[in-house]
Amino acid sequence: MFKKVVSMLIVLTMVLSLAVGCSQPQETTPPAETPAETPGETPAPEEPAAEADTLVWNLGADPKTFDPGLNNASDGGHIINNMFEGLMRDTGTGLEPGIAESYEISANAEGAEGTVYTFKIREGAKWSDGQPVTAKDFEYSWKRVCDPATASEYSFIMAPYIKGANDYLNGTGSRDDMAVSSPDDSTLVVELNFPVPYFLSLTTFYTYLPVREDIVTANGEGWEKKPETCISNGPFKLEEYQTGSHISLVKNENYWDADNVKLEKIKALMIVEATTALSGYENGEIAVLDSGAIPQDEIPRLKAEDPYFSIAPRVGTYYGIFNVDAEPTNDIRVRKALTLAIDQKQICEQVAKGGQLPATGFIPPSLSYSTGESCRQLDADGNPVEEYGLDPNKAQVEEAQALLAEAGYPNGEGFPSITFLYNTNENHKKIAEALQEMWKANLNIDVELRNEEWATFQDTRRLGDFTLARGGWLGDYDDPMTMLDLYTSYSGNNDAQWRWNLQPTVASHDTVLNETNKEFDEVIAAAQLATGTERDALLKRAEEIMAEEFITFNIYYYTYVQVIDESVVEGVNRTTMGQFIFKDSELVK
Amino acid sequence: MGRYILKRIFSSVITIWFIMTLTFILMKSIPGDPFVSERAMTPQVKAAVYAKYGLDKPEFEQYLTYMTNFLKGDFGVSFNRIGLTTQDIIKGGFPYSLKIGGWASLFIIVVGIFLGIIAALRQNKVSDRTVMFISTLGATIPSFVFATGYLYFFSKKLGWAPSFGVGSWKHFVGPVICIGMFSLSYVTRLTRTSVLDVLQQDYIRTARAKGLSEFVVIGKHALRNALIPVVTYIGPMIAGIVTGSFVIEKVFGIAGIGSLFTTSILGRDYTLIMGITVFFGIFLVTAVLIVDIVYVLIDPRIKYD
């Protein structure tokens, strides 16, 4: 027995000394540095435990950028919306003056009403380093967006509206001819190409938010990622950015309305894995979670058990795209049959599960016309009702079967094998499978499913190399046009290949022409010049053309699912377009 | 020995150049580019963006530019994190991966070899059977299942461990165990097998016959030989572990470099793909070199001339 114990001890000592011994030669190469010694000494930045005055929120991703002029994604948008402020502010319930104290809308020299905006900059508006915010800052920032050298991916949300901007962007005009000017430090004048009823709402969008010329020119791209050079003009400023880990914001004492900002610090985490983020929330380590951080399968449980769980409408539509140039979806009867065979309500309730609304038309109910009336007809409970002959609550099987027979495929016989393309993602896969089942059960046709990862999928879809594909569009601004202008002939986003003319620069591959798209283009062009109810009627007509032609099969209107722990924080709002607003938030613990 | 090392370093450089070239070709041949987005860019904006990053040039020219800059120590800026260089991103995440990987490697080496030796010395006894059973579990349960289970029990149910991030030592227990599980099981089995093998050799019987103590027999004669296969495995294993694990870092919400392999490819972040591949390549090549040198130290029969 004694011998055994001794031999065990010997072995243990040997092994330990071996580990130390083995590690010595490795010390010469920094990469494989001694595991025995590194842990205690690694320069890994230690994160202090979340402090009591900090709001912890899961942003979910490391934003590509949060430079307002360069940003092209909603993750960066959340950060920008809390660090910067534009001429107007979107409070979620409407617009209120931001850096502009007031504005006037007038006619241009040719007498076109509603094309000249004159903004008066608020006195006392300051950057986080104490310098005043001037009209020149806006002039510089907007011209920077349309400067071809900036290569701003979101320039499309500004250049088409401001006079001379598109020419400047495309290299056919000069910077000085872009019609935004600052006659003095507190006056900004901008002339538009046509009356844009949503221009004020655009001024709240991140691409329109101001940046400082001296900072940007001196530091180049990436200025916004270093606290020393990240000068902002909103309620919060950057305290720390650690790539892949978190972004910390602190209250900006120089913000003009700093007295009403009660939150001292925000920590935005970049946890990608939804189950991890959710358990962080359930452990009380995170107070705010957004859609991406809530696993789909947990939604029913949270809905039933968690008082802080909520669902909010989102400006966007989840749909499928027909390639109108390809067999057999170039036949409108086939497109219509495939659409009618879908039970949107069942997909919402049994697959998507996040309180999504079954879709009829392309425009989501959260957008409205100039009268304030929602773009969708809704019943008393806010659910979409039948429109364009589409019942969102059930599949119209008989009608669908009849159409398919009329197209030459009675009971699905002889129907060619077609494929539904989606981008690799568990949730999209579930919806694709549900569609596959519905088409099989209701029309007796076989649809194969194919997935491609995001970057490849985008290319395939844009080039029209598909028959059926998944689509999803989240609006950029608060107007139906944000959805409709996808399907103009000159739009690079017209993945359905629905074009009436050749578009050599945007879509040189699309040579099969579709006459019906011509009226759509004309209606959109007319809507851009019209105002009020006249414009509403044109927008309605545009959507109607899409619906009559069955360009897309709409599945549901997006929602946000979110948990906001109100035992920790109150007053967390979202803008109309869904960006978090922490300006009015307050910790309650 | 010195000449041998020089020769090896030279061949390592060639290997890394080869890895880089191959990666470059493969990466450029995947469809899509770093700027694919839901919003189609107008041709003018697209051209401007391409020009900004030099993607408008012929691919061979891009390759030459990249290699020249690389030799100058400039690994390029990331396409998906504006304003950050590839070095910034690796520098930001590597400390976390190294810390977890370092502890995990130590854990694997110490515990794995110790358990392996015990199992071998007590072959077919209860302790051997137990160790082998546990190591079979460790090798077969996928690490994400293990990690999710760990979080469920220790974080959600018991509240002993934090659910994400890095900070105190408590944050590291889960990731270290989960990253180490598979290799730990492997090292245990490998040690056990090779110790058993060596114990049956004639020279061990001779050593025992000479009347040497068990300490000297096991420690001096058996272990040195038995550990050669283990060392062969451990070198590349450490390189693999300290460069991070995609699954573990994702589940535990750790901002290491493990996820960069995948995310850079999905985002077509060309410079980052190159940077991270070279980084890992250098690690692996160095680890293999070290293993070869360690052979000489533990086995006098091996000599390089």
Residue B220 lies in a domain: no
Domain end among A197, A221, A245:
A221
Range of the domain at B153: 1-203+226-291
Residue B246 lies in a domain: yes
Of A174, A176, A178, A144, the closest CA to residue A161 belongs to A178
Model confidence over B107-127: pLDDT tens digits? 999 999 999 998 998 888 898
Distance from CA of A314 to the nearest CA of B (A): 17
Mean pLDDT of A223-252: 95
Same domain, A345 and A197: no
Inter-chain CB pairs, A–B, below 8 Å: 249
Same domain, A390 and A531: yes
Confidence band of A261 (pLDDT split at 50, 70, 90): very high
Query: Which two tokens mark A295?
Result: 């696993």
Pairing of strands A357-358, A552-564: antiparallel
Give exposure, A110-132, as e/b (b: 16+ Cβ within 10 Å): eeeebbbbbbbbbeebbbbeeeb
Range of the domain at A178: 85-221
More confident residue, A69 or A44: A69
DSSP B42: P
The terminus-to-terminus CA distance of chain B in angstroms comes to: 6
Query: Which two tokens mark B216?
Result: 């000297």
With a cut of 70, say whether residue A414 has pLDDT above it.
yes
- Contacts A18 to B, Cβ<8 Å: 109, 113, 223, 227
Q: Is the peptide bond prior to B95 cis by the omega test (within 30 degrees of 0)? A: no
Residue A169 lies in a domain: yes
Model confidence over B135-157: pLDDT tens digits? 998 888 888 888 888 888 888 88
Model confidence over A532-571: pLDDT tens digits? 999 999 999 999 999 999 999 999 999 999 999 999 999 9
Chain A interface, mutation test: which of B27, B78, B81, most A Cβ atoms within 10 Å? B81
Q: Say what the pLDDT of residue B40 is.
A: 84
Residue B185 lies in a domain: yes
Geometric angle at alpha carbon A487, from A341 and A417, rounded to 5°: 40
Model confidence over A489-527: pLDDT tens digits? 999 899 999 999 998 888 889 989 999 999 999 999 999
Residue A425 lies in a domain: yes
**Of B30, B43, B286, which is closest to A505 when you measure between CB atoms?**
B43
**Dihedral pair phi/psi, residue A125, rounded to 5°:** -75, 125
Q: Say what the pLDDT of residue A35 is.
A: 34
Model confidence over B71-82: pLDDT tens digits? 998 888 999 899
Model confidence over A170-185: pLDDT tens digits? 989 999 999 999 999 9
Lowest-pLDDT range, A120-129, A138-147, B96-105, B158-167?
B158-167
> From CA B23, how far away is CA B32, in angstroms rounded?
16
Lowest-pLDDT range, A16-20, A336-340, B185-189, B213-217?
A16-20
Q: Say what the pLDDT of residue B266 is.
A: 87
Residue B213 lies in a domain: no
Mean pLDDT of A104-118: 93
Distance from CA of A233 to the nearest CA of B (A): 21
Confidence band of A474 (pLDDT split at 50, 70, 90): very high
Lowest-pLDDT range, A92-106, A361-375, B163-177?
B163-177
Helix (H, G, I), strand (E, B) or coil at B176: helix
With a cut of 70, say whether residue B278 has pLDDT above it.
yes
**Of A8, A32, A65, which is closest to B82 when you measure between CB atoms?**
A65
Same domain, A201 and A331: no
Q: Say what the pLDDT of residue B148 is.
A: 87
More confident residue, B247 or A49: B247
Own/partner contacts of A226-229, CB < 8 Å, gap of 24 or more, are: none
Cβ distance A88 to A97 under 8 Å? yes
Distance from CA of A27 to the nearest CA of B (A): 10
Distance (Å) of CA A352 to CA A339, A345, A447, B46, B141? 18, 10, 20, 35, 30
Lowest-pLDDT range, A78-82, A128-132, A523-527, B263-267?
B263-267
**Of A34, A224, A493, which is closest to B39 when you measure between CB atoms?**
A493
Is residue A172 less than 8 Å (CB to CB) from chain B? no
> From CA A588, how far away is CA A572, in angstroms rounded?
12
With a cut of 70, say whether residue A16 has pLDDT above it.
no
**Of B82, B162, B283, which is closest to A67 when you measure between CB atoms?**
B82
- Contacts B214 to A, Cβ<8 Å: 3, 6-7, 10
Cβ distance A484 to A542 under 8 Å? yes
Q: Say what the pLDDT of residue B305 is.
A: 60
Q: Say what the pLDDT of residue A239 is.
A: 96
Query: Which two tokens mark A520?
Result: 């759509």
Task: Work out the mean pLDDT of chain A and round it to a whole number.
Answer: 89
| Block residue for tokens 């008393």 | A380
Model confidence over A337-349: pLDDT tens digits? 999 999 999 999 9
Residue A451 lies in a domain: yes
Geometric angle at alpha carbon A229, from A76 and A134, rounded to 5°: 85
Distance from CA of A260 to the nearest CA of B (A): 32
Mean pLDDT of A6-25: 42
Residue B302 lies in a domain: no
Q: Would you tell me how many other CB atoms lie within 10 Å of the CB of residue A57? A: 26
Helix (H, G, I), strand (E, B) or coil at B135: helix
Distance from CA of B139 to the nearest CA of A (A): 22
Amino acid at B56: D
Domain count within chain B: 1
Mean pLDDT of A214-232: 95
Q: Would you tell me how many other CB atoms lie within 10 Å of the CB of residue A378? A: 13
Radius of gyration of chain B, Cα coordinates, nearest whole angstrom: 24
Q: Say what the pLDDT of residue A51 is.
A: 65
**Interchain pair B215, A156: CB under 8 A:** no
**Interchain pair A269, B40: CB under 8 A:** no
Domain with residue A468: its CATH number is 3.10.105.10
> B234 to chain A: nearest residue by CA?
A22
**Interchain pair A7, B218: CB under 8 A:** yes
Residue A569 lies in a domain: no
Domain with residue B261: its CATH number is 1.10.3720
**Interchain pair A169, B156: CB under 8 A:** no
**Of A15, A25, A453, which is closest to B117 when you measure between CB atoms?**
A15
**Interchain pair A45, B117: CB under 8 A:** no
**Of A65, A156, A271, which is closest to B39 when you measure between CB atoms?**
A156
> From CA B35, how far away is CA B22, in angstroms rounded?
23
Distance from CA of A403 to the nearest CA of B (A): 33
Q: Is A213 exposed, middle or buried (0-12, 13-18, 19+ CB in 10 A)?
A: middle
Query: Which two tokens mark A273?
Result: 């894995």
Model confidence over B32-74: pLDDT tens digits? 888 888 888 888 888 888 988 889 999 999 999 999 999 998 8
Q: What percent of chain A has pLDDT over 70?
A: 91
Residue A46 lies in a domain: no
With a cut of 60, say whether residue A429 has pLDDT above it.
yes
Domain with residue A101: its CATH number is 3.90.76.10
Is residue A351 less than 8 Å (CB to CB) from chain B? no
Same domain, A423 and A551: yes
| Block residue for tokens 């929120």 | A57
Is residue A42 less than 8 Å (CB to CB) from chain B? yes
Distance from CA of B16 to the nearest CA of A (A): 15
With a cut of 50, say whether residue B224 has pLDDT above it.
yes
Same domain, A398 and A501: yes
Q: Say what the pLDDT of residue B151 is.
A: 86
Residue A159 lies in a domain: yes
**Of A12, A31, A221, which is closest to B283 when you measure between CB atoms?**
A31
Residue A243 lies in a domain: no
The full DSSP string for A162-201 is BTTHHHHHTTSS-GGGSSEEEEETTEEEEEBSS--TTHHH
Q: ipTM score here? A: 0.86
Cβ distance A404 to A412 under 8 Å? yes
More confident residue, A51 or A112: A112
Domain count within chain A: 2
Q: Say what the pLDDT of residue B211 is.
A: 86
Mean pLDDT of A242-268: 94
Cβ distance A326 to A558 under 8 Å? no
- Contacts A505 to B, Cβ<8 Å: 42-43
- Contacts A156 to B, Cβ<8 Å: 39, 41-42, 45
Q: Say what the pLDDT of residue A136 is.
A: 96
DSSP A122: P
Same domain, A365 and A510: yes
With a cut of 90, say whether residue B289 has pLDDT above it.
no
Distance (Å) of CA B35 to CA A64, A327, A487, B51? 11, 31, 21, 12
Residue A405 lies in a domain: yes
